[in-house]
Amino acid sequence: MTKKPFPLSKVYTLIEPGPMVMVTTAYKGRPNIMTLSWHTMIDFEPPLLGCVVSNRNYTFDILRTTKECVINIPTVELAKKAVGCGNTSGREIDKFKKFRLTPVEASCVKAPLIDECYAHLECKVVDAGMADRYNLFILEVVRAWIDPRKKDPRTLHHRGKDVFMASGKTIRLRNKMK
């Protein structure tokens, strides 16, 4: 793998703009992938994320049982595969095989990284108390990785149904906010 460690204090810069992410889990040695856009930063450091995973998804029970996952961030080149992973269920197929994605061992969790993605956040579920009511899991990022070769990654953003958006031009503005 050609990724390098990414500082935990900067994880918010990857999640805050709202990219579609591919969440990997592993249960009894079998890895799985789901695609989602319903997430938010909750705190800067240690980086906490809120992730909404429908209880109809295979990933919901696995997250609750294993308390681990990896948030992988794809770029536009992966659009078809990311959408494909969202349209299928890990109950029926092996998505790594079906979509020709490469699992890479993570360092702190059993869920694999997806090598084709440009960034990865290894996460522990630190609070599942809102899972019953809101399908909401609080994740702590314990390790982060980024592809140093991707200088200006085009992230994917979902606008509903068949419509997706690629991140566009960069705007620089003096800003006191983190």
Give me the residues that bind a copy of itself (CB under 8 A), please.
10, 12-13, 16-19, 35, 37-43, 48, 50, 52, 76, 79-80, 83, 86-87, 130, 134-136, 138, 154, 156-178
CB of 92 to a copy of itself, least distance (A): 14
Question: Does the N-terminal peptide bond of residue 17 adopt cis geometry, omega within 30 degrees of 0?
Answer: no
For a copy of itself, the closer of residues 108 and 166 by Cβ is 166
Per-residue CA distances from 47 to 24, 41, 43, 71, 131 (Å): 18, 8, 5, 13, 19
For a copy of itself, the closer of residues 1 and 165 by Cβ is 165
Largest Cα–Cα separation, the chain: 49
For a copy of itself, the closer of residues 47 and 106 by Cβ is 47
CB of 102 to a copy of itself, least distance (A): 22
CB of 152 to a copy of itself, least distance (A): 10
Q: HEC string of 40-107?
A: EEEECCCCEEEEECCCCCHHHHHHHHHCEEEEEECEHHHHHHHHHHHCCCCCCCCHHHHCCCCEECCC
For a copy of itself, the closer of residues 1 and 166 by Cβ is 166
CB of 73 to a copy of itself, least distance (A): 12
Place of tokens 């020709």: 100
For residue 136 the two structure tokens come to 């909401």
Place of tokens 């899972």: 131
CB of 132 to a copy of itself, least distance (A): 13
For a copy of itself, the closer of residues 54 and 65 by Cβ is 54
